[in-house]
Amino acid sequence: MSPYIPLIFMGEEWGELNPFLYFVSHSDPNLIEAVRKGRKEEFKAFNWSKEPPDPQSVETFMRSKLSWDLRLKEPHSKISELFRKLIELRKKYIDLLTFKRTELQAIGLSDLLILKYRLSPDKSLMIVANFSDEEKEVDLGDKWKLIIDTSYNTWGGPREVNLSGDLLVSEYRLYPKSGILLERISERA
């Protein structure tokens, strides 16, 4: 729901399991060796106990290939559906693309992130993300209409009840590693 161009990387939209490793296909032996040496130097800072994947190796490339069949299987298909829904919502809230940065309020509370977008004098959106491994209760102040909760079982989460779109809330319990999108339309949004 960022107002900027969304960056979805290498199967993220279905929860790809394969890593995306750095690989090259150079023909110059000196360049190949320089890249290998550079990667080893880079990985020293990570305190790795083993060698980094060889960037020139066919195996490194093959390990990085997408598993296209995963997007059709659960739970990956549910993650894919969530991405589709979020893109649909992004199109619905097209005014997110033209809002002024001064109309954004970002609040960080321990493992919670709250973003409030004032889209017009009478319309606001709020995103609340719970990055922790525990449920978190959030006081939203005024009543907000729940648009989506990523913890619903529709999207592969544990929450059974799906009330998005009909529920007005001023407090909300977020499941671990989940987020919600809320909308407020009023004279004092």
Burial tier of 180 (Cβ tally within 10 Å: 0-12, 13-18, 19+): buried
Considering the domain architecture, whether residues 170 and 112 belong to the same structural domain is answered as: yes
CA atoms within 13 A on the CB side of 106: 5
Considering the domain architecture, whether residues 61 and 80 belong to the same structural domain is answered as: no
- Number of separate domains in the chain: 2
* Stated pTM of the model: 0.81
Considering the domain architecture, whether residues 103 and 132 belong to the same structural domain is answered as: yes
Cα–Cα distance for residue pair 153/38, rounded to 1 Å: 44
Considering the domain architecture, whether residues 126 and 154 belong to the same structural domain is answered as: yes
Cα–Cα distance for residue pair 123/95, rounded to 1 Å: 10
Q: Which domain holds residue 36?
A: 26-65
What does R_g of the chain's alpha carbons equal in angstroms? 21
Considering the domain architecture, whether residues 56 and 111 belong to the same structural domain is answered as: no
Any idea what the CATH number is for the domain that residue 157 is in?
2.60.40.1180
Residue 87 falls inside a structural domain: yes
Please tell me the total number of residues recorded for the chain in this structure: 189
* Residue pLDDT, tens place only, 53-81: 999 999 999 999 999 999 999 999 999 99
Residue 95 falls inside a structural domain: yes
Considering the domain architecture, whether residues 87 and 117 belong to the same structural domain is answered as: yes
Residue 130 falls inside a structural domain: yes
* Residue pLDDT, tens place only, 118-164: 888 888 999 999 999 999 999 998 899 999 999 999 888 899 876 65
Percentages helix, strand, coil for the chain (3-state, rounded to 5) are 30, 30, 40
Query: What pLDDT does 189 receive?
Result: 46
* Residue pLDDT, tens place only, 75-117: 999 999 999 999 999 888 887 777 777 888 888 988 999 999 8
Residue 21 falls inside a structural domain: no
